[in-house]
Amino acid sequence: MHGPSSNFSAVPRTRDPLRPMSAGAKGAIISIFAAFPWAALVALVYGFPVPFADGKPSGFAAVVPSLFAVLFYGLIGGFVVLGVAGAAAGFAASWLGRRDGDRARVLCWVFAGAASGGCVVFLAVLDRFIGPW
């Protein structure tokens, strides 16, 4: 019979696997949009380079300018970098979760968000490597 320890379920828990191309597109979109909250968080905690500002503002006063900075950097090529990084993250998530569609979708969010966070942190600490700009 079907007791509490059985594997019977009235609703099957199988989902279609996440296809690599759709995973790449989802990863790119997630990565681009995740850059905004990442930049706000990095600006709040560490500091984020804002174009045409003096120094690297940090704290609560730097949160809104950092959002405009992401838009500015994105329009001059940063969105392409974020899209490529997010697409690579989506492909990796699709490959790692190829047998379980739900796992692949969660991995896509995690990997694309991490790729976006890595790009934002790299931009925030870039002055340590190349000097003030």
| Mean pLDDT for the chain overall | 89
Tell me which of 35-39, 53-57, 61-65, 70-74 is least confident.
Answer: 53-57
Residue 11 confidence (pLDDT) above 50: no
63 alpha carbon, distance to own chain's centre: 18
DSSP alpha helix (H) spans, the chain: 20-45, 63-73, 79-96, 101-130
pTM above 0.95, yes or no: no
